[in-house]
């Protein structure tokens, strides 16, 4: 399981355009283990698309090495490269469907190279279309589909050839949440049953949280942070990562809203606004109940985002603690002793938490 | 009838013959020049800078050959390639002999049109095919020729109509055909009715080609 | 109409429209001392389509044209009652010839042979008349200057005719049994009608109407300057030049127009 | 403020395509008040794009009436329609930028019609590009931009002409969360300062919650539910709406995760898994603290999503209640008495909550 | 030199003159036919079913005129439009008179090419312009002509090269030009060197047009 199916070494990609020169990717290393689901997030224009396009050499890097499935892609003969590419499915940000083929024809396309008979191809493509919920439309042409429908066709096409690796460039950004979830579940299922390795560019941190095991955060062409999903979500090191998580978990906007709300600004002497972050088993112990029973401090939840992430509980909360001053102080100390990070919000610098 | 078309009326068999000759020349040279032009156009697209088989030598060569052939006036082309024509069809005059210069005269034009048409294809779609492991040949047949089909058809209409025009010039080497009748009988001998009827028949052909082509292009545009 | 207007203003400049070897001859004449002596300033313009050239002459865009035989001129006038031309005088006669690479004599031409003839009406009729004189075909009684293969009465050898652009004549010699080539074209193809052809026109009654003429618009029929061109053409030096250049195949004809009728 | 700037009456749109016939929009009424921010959500292919394209008559309805700004658009002369359109900005799902113009040129395009001088146009366009963070790239061409960057240009273009109405068809779907948030804030600010009316198609319920006042839910060409954002989020009537909200608030996946997780299935006799939904002032009273103090029932939070929505608190939680059986029963009764909806999760039918 | 080009050597001024005539005919007719063809092509696109100014009558009419003009052999076109030519330029003979048939011969071809080129423009972009309140005229000038520029340039290259070919046929009405020299002197008189030199000059022109056009099209393709 620790074998790296994708191993990009010191990848640099430059675009030259007359006088302009953009370094879209700068000296990036990226290792993805077989069977992993690897998320890539970052601002628009960070170089995510460019980086993943290097994986199947659609984008030749200006410098660096590309090892996929133990093959050094840059050293392969064209025919070998094409063979290697059949095992790397790709979902494009802009769908890239063929307008002259039906939906079915588009999904069948990658199968034309295989030894499957016409009817086997149709069968396989129809199955895939069923998976993405478009079997009814199989004889329509891309022009007749809505944005999300096109994206689902692109997903089916990328899976047609039973790839080892699936590269997904915002495959769900045009989809409604329900369809997004079902596609993510589909990907997860393929990952679990067939060992499909997935590289997922997405803007939806929710999606990352949902299915990724690892995540890399890109900024201005570089991977500024990477790691286990729990690690990144619980203890982000970079400001950018923090911001992304704040927005994804909605903490950023929530803090802003709460601190801007006059009614929460006018707390009594006996009240204290706090922000709590916690991870792990800490919630095995019922915090708020404990505060109430042990310190006689009531916790009123203004904002909460608590969830189970890979067997651990990850939580953010904004509470109004009400009680005697010394009790509140004790309660906060108790929380800190239990690995809960506490931030007093009355004094908080608005800028610091704002997105 | 006789007073309006005094000459045509005695030339029915000539018209039938000429129509057949025009159809024959147009069809045969369209098919052969079509294949040649398509192949050349595709090679131009594939070998061009950034193409799927980028090769600046082949691109430069084809580009120059196409330009060269396009700079030769048709009448001179008739003469220049006469030895080649004789080698291929055994004679340099007559309808069949006209095919060779017609083909060589029109295919570079068609190739250029194909090149222009295929330039339009969304590079993203080509990339998607490459990503799925398609070879250049597969991309040509399964992507370029399919995605570009409506445009290829439009270019073909334009070319076939130009070709019909060109056949009228092949009269110089005894090709016959409607253009020849219109010029060497109708026009040169002042039999205006012959010119008009010959042109009407050409016009009908042009409309059929245009209509059928438009219909096909529209149908294929999904 | 600027051109005819300017032609009047500079009365000395005469635009001669021509083609082929006539064009060359008239370019020579334009530069000759004889022209200067006659006080004529001549501009020669090449127009390769006879119909357009006659139209242009009739409309006054071209002052005088030099390319056609009398018979073609008559046919033109017959078809264009509104654009009449007038013949100024005769120039020369050049014999049309039957040429062949395969056969030395007309009698050797076999059954079913392919004969290439001109596709321009000035020469098609003349070609057919020559074939008739050679005894290969018989033409209908009303055969005109614009006649073509459909006017053949009998074709005992079942000859096949290919109408071609006559300038390609020398080039297709190899591809057919025989080609009829006008002298102008033959000369350019380095063929000498008197020695290389297997049969050629005689200068007699039957070929009288093949004599070349100078023509102008009807309204200029009596223009003295234009008439001077006829005289100029027949000047000694000029005739010597023509004789040398065309090996005596352009036989001078200096007759009144009435002779042709 | 109750004036309807957009008033679509009984709109039907049919697409004919040879034999196929798709009714993309069926007899839909849509009223949007001046100054409102109106969200439209729904599955991919539900007819959202088609419906909003009717607003500026890019899509002529097969039947129905279109009143915008008190004008009956279907009755206008072409020149009047064009005038009306200058006041309706539109952000397209597929950007639709002109590849022959620079970024700046694209944003300037709608201003070419106006009386502004060249330098004024450039000034205005540059300002807008600054707002979307692309001022640096203003002389680049669309081809040189990433997907998200293109979308931001499209946003700037739609705003160029100071429209009264802004139609946004998934304007933020290709954007990272940070940029999304800043764009949403921008829209909200324009809405507040200039009274811009906004119709927003989006797949991100988060975005809807963030800025919309009203929302309509589309399904198969019809609006199946519509209303105030609080109303819809707190008491959705249709299953589809429920599902969307569940996914948006992450409740659906959370419930699934929790109920599937073996450690939560093996609760002791003294434990009870519950799902709580609440809205309004109910959280003024610290629920969990009260349960602890009043009923001696500890509440351990497995999942929580609590936030402030237009001055009200909206919350979903999954708790493990620990205490004596009768205390738990009393605690649940207490919750119900306080307008908290309680669902016992041990017995829950998995299918019912699964997305 | 003299032995390789025995005839050319005495014809330097003729060549200079002919080159000028060809350039003159090509340039002037390219400009006028360009405007006419562009306008016709745009009207075809705008009036076509689904176009920004859909009008099936105008579309049908233009479509038929274009086809009609394209079915007339050039030699006959010369004759048919002679009265019109005389009305416009006062003569039917000479270089300037050749402009009229050249223009009428080439503009329908160019119009068709423009139509084909503009068909390619992303309808989404047209919609975006419509949504911003652009009028049909604005869409034509600010969207079609700009977005389609690289393709318009490609179509123009193809057309100008075809036009250079067409000028060689205008010798029939005394237009002069390189094609005429190549045919009526070089070819008809077996003065091969004349043909070769005339064609080389044409070839150079073709290359200049192609190169300049390609360069421009590439530059404009952002
Ligand atoms: N062909 C190109 N020419 C010039 N610059 C380019 C080109 N393609 C991409 N870029 C630039 O490279 C950078 C990275 O682009 P890329 O598409 O990888 O971004 P991204 O992270 O995928 O963004 P998004 O989330 O918006 O899709 C951007 O600044 C972009 O403008
Ligand atoms: N031009 C067309 N021809 C035929 N059917 C069409 C056309 N445009 C849209 N449709 C169909 O109409 C329905 C509604 O499409 P629409 O684009 O409005 O969906 P949408 O709600 O915007 O979806 P998405 O969220 O995926 O963008 C879909 O089923 C689609 O396939
Ligand atoms: Mg991207
Ligand atoms: Mg849509």
Q: What domains, with CATH codes, occur in chain A? A: 4-228 (3.40.50.300), 249-353 (3.30.70.260)
Asked if D100 and E147 come within 8 Å (Cβ–Cβ), the reply is yes
Q: Which two tokens stand for residue D134?
A: 């692309």
Written as six digits, the tokens of D273 are 């898994």
Question: Are D307 and D279 within 8 A, CB to CB?
Answer: no
Centroid of ligand 3 to alpha carbon of A94 (angstroms) = 9
Q: Which atom of ligand 2 is nearest to the CA of D20?
A: 4
Question: Is B83 within the bounds of a domain?
Answer: yes
Look at residue D349 in the predicted model and tell me its pLDDT: 41
Beta bridge partners of D63: D12
What's the pLDDT at A281? 64
The DSSP secondary-structure symbol of C21 reads H
Q: Where are the beta strands (DSSP E) in chain D?
A: 4-17, 20-33, 37-42, 63-68, 71-72, 88-91, 165-169, 197-201, 214-219, 222-228, 271-280, 298-309, 312-322, 341-344
Burial readout E95-107 (b: 16 or more C-beta within 10 A, e: otherwise): bbbbbbbbbbbbb
- Residue E1 forms part of a structural domain: no
| Confidence (pTM) | 0.84
Give yes or no for residue C135 having a pLDDT over 80. yes
Instruction: Identify the CA nearest to E23 among candidates E109, E95, E74.
Output: E95
Contact residues on chain C for B98, CB-CB shorter than 8 A: none
In a domain, E3, yes or no: no
pLDDT value of residue C65: 94
Number of domains in chain E: 1
Which pLDDT tens digit goes with each residue over D131-164?
888 998 999 999 888 888 898 899 999 999 999 9
Question: Residue for token digits 């149709």?
Answer: A122
Interchain contact D100–E (C-beta under 8 A): yes
Q: Do B147 and A98 touch (CB under 8 A)?
A: yes
Q: How far is E9 from chain C (nearest CA, A)?
A: 17
Atom 3 (ligand 1): residue with closest C-alpha?
A: D144
Residue C147 touches chain B, beta carbons under 8 Å: no
Comparing A3-17, A84-98, A301-315, which segment has the lowest mean pLDDT?
A301-315
Q: From the CB of residue C186, how many other CB atoms can be counted at a distance below 10 Å?
A: 27
Please write down the HEC assignment for all residues of E14-41.
HHHHHHHHHHHHHHHHHHHHHHHHHHHH
Q: For the segment B42-89, what is each residue's pLDDT rounded down to a tens digit?
A: 999 999 988 899 999 999 999 999 988 988 888 788 878 888 888 898
pLDDT single digits (tens) C53-88: 998 999 888 999 999 989 889 888 988 888 899 999
Measured at the CA of C166, the angle between CA C163 and CA C168, to 5 degrees, comes to: 100
The answer to whether the beta carbons of residues A92 and A154 sit under 8 Å apart is yes
Distance between CA atoms of A85 and B134, rounded to whole angstroms? 9
pLDDT of res. E176: 87
Give the per-residue pLDDT at E159.
93
The C-alpha atoms of residue E140 and residue E114 are separated, in whole angstroms, by 12
Segment C178-229, tens digit of pLDDT: 999 988 888 878 888 888 999 998 877 667 888 999 999 999 999 999 999 9
The Cα of E133 is separated from the nearest Cα of chain B by a number of Å equal to: 28
Give Cα C131 distance to the centre of its chain: 18
Can you give the pLDDT at residue A18? 65
In this complex, which of B70, B168, B207 lies closest to E161 when CB atoms are compared? B70
Closest C-alpha to D37, from D252, D188, D189, D256: D188
Neighbours of chain B (3+ CB pairs under 8 A): A, C, E
Neighbors of chain C with 3 or more C-beta pairs under 8 Å: B, E
| For range C152-164, the mean pLDDT | 91
The token duo for D330 is: 């009393």
Which chain B residues are within 8 Å of E207, Cβ to Cβ?
64, 67
Percent of chain C past pLDDT 70, that is, above it, reads 95
Q: Is D227 in the pocket of ligand 1 (CB under 6 A)?
A: no
At residue D344, φ and ψ (nearest 5 deg) are -85, 125
> Residues of E near B (CB-CB distance < 8 A)?
63-64, 67-68, 70-76, 79, 109, 112-113, 116-117, 119-120, 151, 154-155, 158, 161-162, 164-165, 168-169, 179, 182-183, 186-187, 195, 199, 202-203, 205-207, 210
Is E158 inside a domain boundary? yes
Q: Is A24 in the pocket of ligand 1 (CB under 6 A)?
A: yes
Does the beta carbon of D202 sit less than 6 angstroms from any atom of ligand 2? no
**What's the confidence (pLDDT) of residue C7?**
44
Contacts of A45 in chain D (CB under 8 A): 145-146, 148-149
Residue D353 reports pLDDT greater than 60: no
- Scan for tokens 């999304």, then name that residue: D180
Q: Is D177 in the pocket of ligand 2 (CB under 6 A)?
A: no
**Which atom of ligand 2 is found nearest the CA of D46?**
21
Q: What is the pLDDT of residue E8?
A: 80
- Residue A315 in contact with ligand 1 by CB distance below 6 A: no
Q: What is the CA radius of gyration of chain A?
A: 24
Residue A353: band (very low, low, confident or very high) from pLDDT cuts 50, 70, 90: very low
Question: Atom 12 of ligand 1 has which residue's CA nearest to it?
Answer: A24
Mean pLDDT of chain B: 89
C84 shares contact with chain E (CB less than 8 Å): no
Give the pLDDT confidence score for residue A220 in this predicted structure.
Answer: 92
CB C126 within 8 A of CB C184: no
E141 token code pair: 């000038």
Q: Residue E133, SS3?
A: coil
Nearest CA-CA distance, residue B130 and chain A, Å: 8
Q: Using CA of residue A200, residue A6, residue A192, residue A215, what is the dihedral sign?
A: negative
**Distance of CA A93 from the midpoint of ligand 3 (Å):** 6
* A216 three-class SS: strand
When the pLDDT of each residue in chain A is averaged and rounded to a whole number, the result is: 86
Burial class (CB in 10 A: 0-12, 13-18, 19+), E214: middle
Other Cβ atoms closer than 10 A to D127: 14
Cβ contact D313:A302 at 8 Å = yes
Whether D79 sits inside 8 A of E147 (CB atoms) is no
Interface size B-C, in CB pairs within 8 Å, comes to 62
Residue E99 lies in a domain: yes
Q: How far is the CA of A64 from the centre of ligand 3 (A)?
A: 21
Q: From residue A346, how far is each of A90, A264, A271, A325, A343 by CA, in Å?
A: 48, 9, 10, 14, 9
Above pLDDT 70, what percent of chain A?
94
pLDDT computed for residue A265 by the predictor = 67
pLDDT of residue C5: 46
Q: Is residue E200 part of a domain?
A: yes
The residues facing D254 across adjacent strands are: none
pLDDT for A354: 37
In a domain, E33, yes or no: yes
pLDDT of residue A319: 87
Contact A208, A39 (CB under 8 A): yes
Nearest CB to E146 within list D84, D100, D141: D100
Q: In angstroms, what separates the C-alpha of C167 from chain E's closest C-alpha?
A: 6
Name the stretches of chain E with pLDDT < 50: none
Q: SS3 of A250, please?
A: coil
Closest CA to A142 of D132, B128, D38: B128
Which residues of D are less than 8 Å from E216 in CB distance?
Answer: none
Distance between CA atoms of residues A219 and A227, nearest Å: 15
Instruction: Over range A283-307, report the average pLDDT.
Output: 83
Residue A110 pLDDT grade (very low, low, confident, very high; cuts 50, 70, 90):
very high
Report the DSSP pairing between strands C64-69 and C13-18: parallel
| Residue D159, SS3 per DSSP | helix
CA distance linking residue E218 with residue E222, whole number of Å: 8
What is the maximum alpha-carbon separation in chain D?
Answer: 78
Determine what percent of chain A is predicted with pLDDT higher than 90.
Answer: 43
> What's the CA angle centered on A103, arms A97 and A105, to 5 degrees?
90
Give tens-digit pLDDT for D3-41. 899 999 999 999 987 667 889 999 999 999 999 999 999
Q: Is A138:A101 a contact under the CB 8 Å cutoff?
A: no
- Contact of chains D and C by CB distance (3 or more pairs under 8 angstroms): no
Question: Which CATH number does the domain housing residue B207 bear?
Answer: 1.10.3720.10
Answer with the residue of higher pLDDT: E128 or D94: E128
- Chain C residues inside the 8 Å CB shell of E172: 47-49, 52
CA gap A299, A272 in Å, rounded: 10
B20 touches chain C (CB under 8 A): no
Share of chain D above pLDDT 90, in %: 43
pLDDT tens-digit readout, B15-33? 999 999 999 999 999 999 9
Quote the ipTM score: 0.82
Ligand 1 contact via A28 beta carbon (within 6 Å): no
Of D297 and A245, the one with more pLDDT: D297
Q: What does the alpha-carbon distance between residue A316 and residue A250 come to, in Å, rounded to a whole number? A: 9
Element (H, E) at C179: strand C178-181
Tell me the C-alpha distance between C68 and C214, whole Å: 8
Are E86 and C59 within 8 A, CB to CB?
Answer: yes
Find the domain containing E38 and state its range.
Answer: 12-220
pLDDT at C11: 52
Residue A282 has pLDDT above 60, yes or no: no
């Amino acid at each position: 399981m620790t074998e790296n199916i994708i191993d990009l070494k010191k990848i640099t990609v430059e675009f030259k355009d007359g006088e302009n020169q953009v370094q879209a990717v700068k000296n990036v290393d990226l290792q993805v283990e077989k069977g992993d689901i690897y998320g890539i997030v970052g601002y628009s224009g960070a170089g995510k698309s460019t980086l993943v396009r290097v994986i199947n050499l659609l984008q030749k890097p200006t410098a660096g090495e590309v090892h996929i499935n133990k093959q050094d892609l840059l050293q392969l003969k064209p025919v070998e490269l094409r063979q290697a590419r059949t095992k790397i499915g790709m979902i494009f940000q802009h769908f890239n469907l063929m307008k002259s083929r039906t939906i079915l024809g588009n999904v069948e396309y990658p199968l034309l190279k295989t030894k499957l008979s016409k009817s086997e191809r149709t069968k396989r493509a129809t199955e895939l279309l069923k998976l993405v919920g478009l079997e009814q439309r199989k004889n329509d042409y891309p022009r007749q589909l809505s944005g999300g429908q096109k994206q689902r066709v692109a997903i089916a096409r990328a899976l047609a050839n039973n790839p080892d690796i699936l590269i997904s460039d915002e495959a769900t950004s045009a989809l409604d949440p329900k369809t997004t979830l079902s596609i993510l579940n589909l990907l997860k299922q393929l990952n679990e049953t067939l060992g499909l390795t997935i590289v997922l560019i997405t803007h939806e941190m929710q999606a990352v949280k949902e299915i990724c095991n690892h995540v890399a955060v890109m900024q201005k062409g570089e991977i500024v942070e990477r790691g286990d999903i729990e690690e990144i979500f619980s203890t982000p090191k970079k400001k950018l990562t923090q911001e992304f998580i704040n927005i994804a978990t909605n903490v950023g906007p929530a803090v802003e809203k709460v601190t801007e709300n006059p009614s929460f600004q006018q707390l009594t002497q006996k009240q204290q606004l706090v922000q709590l972050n916690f991870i792990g088993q800490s919630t095995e112990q019922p915090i708020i109940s404990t505060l109430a029973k042990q310190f006689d401090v009531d916790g009123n939840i203004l904002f909460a985002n608590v969830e189970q992430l890979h067997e651990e509980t990850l939580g953010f909360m904004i509470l109004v603690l009400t009680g005697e001053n010394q009790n509140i102080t004790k309660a906060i100390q108790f929380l800190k002793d239990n690995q809960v990070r506490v931030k007093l919000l009355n004094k908080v610098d608005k800028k610091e938490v704002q997105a | 009838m006789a007073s309006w078309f005094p000459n045509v009326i005695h030339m029915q068999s000539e018209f039938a013959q000429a129509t057949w000759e025009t159809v024959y020349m147009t069809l045969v040279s369209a098919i052969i020049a079509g294949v040649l032009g398509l192949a050349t156009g595709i090679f131009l697209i594939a070998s061009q800078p950034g193409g799927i088989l980028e090769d600046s030598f082949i691109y430069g060569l084809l580009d120059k050959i196409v330009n060269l052939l396009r700079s030769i006036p048709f009448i001179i082309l008739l003469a220049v390639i006469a030895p080649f024509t004789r080698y291929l069809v055994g004679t340099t005059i007559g309808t069949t002999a006209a095919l060779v210069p017609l083909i060589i005269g029109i295919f570079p034009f068609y190739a250029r049109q194909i090149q222009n048409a295929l330039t339009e294809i969304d590079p993203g779609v080509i990339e998607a095919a490459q990503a799925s492991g398609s070879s250049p040949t597969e991309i040509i047949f399964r992507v370029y020729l399919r995605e570009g089909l409506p445009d290829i058809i439009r270019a073909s209409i334009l070319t076939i109509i130009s070709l019909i025009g060109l056949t009228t010039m092949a009269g110089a080497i005894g090709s016959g055909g409607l253009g020849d009748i219109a010029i060497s009988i109708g026009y040169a001998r002042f039999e205006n009715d012959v010119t008009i009827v010959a042109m009407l028949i050409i016009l009908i052909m042009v409309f059929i080609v245009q209509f059928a082509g438009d219909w096909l292009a529209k149908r294929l545009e999904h | 109409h600027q051109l005819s207007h300017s032609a009047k203003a500079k009365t000395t400049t005469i635009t001669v429209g021509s083609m082929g070897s006539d064009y060359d001859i008239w370019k020579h004449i334009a530069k000759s001392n004889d022209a200067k002596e006659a006080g004529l300033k001549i501009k020669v313009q090449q127009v390769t389509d006879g119909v357009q050239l006659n139209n242009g002459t009739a409309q006054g865009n071209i002052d005088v044209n030099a390319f056609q035989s009398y018979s073609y001129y008559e046919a033109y006038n017959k078809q264009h009652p509104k654009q009449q031309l007038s013949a100024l005088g005769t120039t020369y006669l050049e014999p049309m010839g039957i040429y062949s690479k395969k056969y030395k004599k007309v009698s050797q031409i076999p059954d079913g042979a392919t004969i290439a003839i001109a596709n321009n009406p000035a020469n098609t009729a003349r070609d057919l008349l020559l074939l008739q004189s050679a005894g290969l075909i018989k033409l209908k009684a009303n055969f005109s200057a614009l006649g073509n293969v459909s006017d053949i009465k009998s074709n005992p050898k079942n000859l096949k005719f290919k109408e071609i652009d006559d300038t390609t004549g020398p080039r297709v010699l190899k591809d057919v049994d025989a080609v009829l080539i006008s002298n102008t074209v033959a000369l350019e193809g380095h063929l000498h009608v008197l020695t290389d052809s297997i049969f050629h026109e005689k200068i007699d009654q039957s070929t009288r109407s093949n004599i070349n003429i100078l023509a102008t618009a009807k309204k200029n029929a009596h223009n003295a300057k234009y008439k001077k061109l006829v005289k100029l053409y027949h000047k000694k030096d000029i005739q010597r030049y023509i004789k040398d250049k065309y090996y005596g195949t352009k036989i001078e004809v200096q007759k009144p127009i009435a002779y042709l009728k």
